[in-house]
Copies of this chain bind each other. A is one copy, B any other.
Amino acid sequence: MAKVLTSREESYAQWYNDLVIKADLAENSAVRGCMVIKPYGYAIWEKMQRALDDMFKETGHQNAYFPLFIPKSFFSKEAAHVDGFAKECAVVTHYRLKNDPDGKGVVVDPDAKLEEELIVRPTSETIIWSTYKNWIQSYRDLPLLINQWANVVRWEMRTRLFLRTAEFLWQEGHTAHATQAEAIQETETMLGVYAKFAEEWMAMPVVQGYKSANERFAGALETMTIEALMQDGKALQSGTSHFLGQNFAKAFDVTFANKEGKLEYVWATSWGVSTRLMGALVMAHSDDNGLVLPPKLAPIQVVIVPIYKKAEELERIDEVVNGLVAKLKALGISVKYDNDDNRKPGWKFAEYELKGVPVRLAIGPRDLENGTFEVARRDTMAKETMPLEGLENKIQALLDDIQASIYKKAFDFRTSKTTKVDDYDEFKRLLDEKGGFFLCHWDGTPETEELIKNETKATIRCIPLDAPDEAGQCMVSGKPSSKRVLFARSY
């Protein structure tokens, strides 16, 4: 079978686009910048959602739903938010169509103009804090720990499936607290939830840290982030958690009576991950044959392909396989038996490799005689013949092993691509030659950060939480620095 994907070496960007489309994850739609998430891609997203939602609920959060539209004036209420936030938004100005007087379809009814334009939410801080004003009166109403699963729109000029689209799906947590300390704790807790999800479910190691002031969310006092390394050596910001201070409480006049009956402004956080994680998942693990999915997020964990010539052979295979399928399902493993007669085994093998099914079993007449299956794992492409007896338990262990191996591979890759550099010229050279993460001393000024960005396209991804104290000198200005920060080119 001909290769369906451009190789990563040939063009990483083209490989990514090919893979997202050929593996039936998503495609571009008739609406500029908006994607269609196809059933196979959506099934992965649903698994992500379920795992994250369970983690949010375990940490005490509840879901709710706020309006899609935000009155234009709300954006002006928090000064940093309106200044810093991109103004590329979808603007609703009218509320009615009418038949075209010329008989050609429909036109916008000029009589149905809104008094105040509505913005399709690019993020929901403003509409939510305008609501919280009515929900919060006393310290007894706090903390308020709420999450929303929703679609949002940011009008992007250059879009890439999952990585940057005008409309995307996400969750946004918005919490309200009585004290600064509690809000900061929440910001950290939720970053930890994201890191745990990335590492344990997506098998994707991440660096947790603080954004520099330049890279903060508009309206936040601190933005925390998880940063992952893609196979092309670029970073991908995978989730952010913001400590918003009292900015939105002040903008929307949200106060509470403390235990002494005195009014105070409420402290806020917000945090989100989006369908961008789908892009991270693809780019972190997949290869030139297609997707490599961690078993915990794979819609199909095991596929079984029969190899036969005669109908009677298939009948005997069906019998053996049906028994195995029942045992696998009893262990909670999702399994597909593909005995479709219209496709050859070779086509099926390539198809399930492309789709990233972690384990493939094949069974032919000789296996039938010997009581065996051929077991192939997608991540290493290794094959082994295993007896049917007790196979379900071996497969369960194999899925665990694949989950761990994928993580280890990504972790080792990141280790090999993380470089400490002290000299700016060497930094520039290695950025081009090697790529990856760079741990460097920085003088802490926005000016130096900006200079490096302009000269190299590398940015400070974060000031890592686990960066040890280490006296050094900024690689650009030579000024003193107390710890290394993480630089990379990024998506």
Residue of B nearest to A46 (CB): B63
Is A42 positioned at the interface, with any CB of B under 8 Å from its CB?
A: yes
Residues in A lying within 8 Å of B, measured CB to CB: 27, 29-31, 34-39, 42-43, 46, 62-76, 82, 87-98, 104-106, 108-109, 117-120, 127, 130-131, 134, 140, 146, 150-151, 153, 155, 167, 169, 342
> A90: which B residues are within 8 A, CB to CB?
69, 92, 95, 118
Would you call A64 and B93 a contact (CB within 8 A)? no
Number of copies of this chain that the complex holds? 2
Partner of A75, one of B30, B94, B105, B146: B105
- A64 and B92 CA atoms in complex are apart in Å by 26
Chain B residues near A65: list those with CB within 8 A: 36-37, 42, 169
What CA separation (Å) do A135 and B111 show in the bound complex?
A: 39
Assess the A68–B167 pair: CB atoms within 8 A.
Answer: yes
Docked CA distance A140–B95 (Å): 42
The reply to whether A30 and B127 contact each other, CB–CB distance below 8 Å, is yes
A selection of 28 A-B contacts at a CB cut-off of 8 Å is: A27-B134, A31-B71, A31-B127, A34-B67, A34-B68, A36-B66, A36-B67, A36-B131, A42-B65, A46-B63, A68-B120, A68-B151, A68-B153, A69-B167, A72-B97, A72-B106, A72-B108, A73-B105, A75-B97, A82-B106, A87-B96, A89-B96, A89-B97, A92-B120, A93-B93, A93-B94, A95-B155, A108-B117
Question: What is the chain B residue whose CB lies nearest that of A29?
Answer: B67
Which residue from chain B places its CB closest to the CB of A82 in the assembled complex?
B106
Find A43's partner among B63, B75, B127 (CB 8 Å cutoff). B63
Other-chain residue from B39, B62, B88, B91 in contact with A62 (beta carbon distance below 8 A): B39
Whether A95 contacts B89 by the Cβ 8 Å rule is: yes
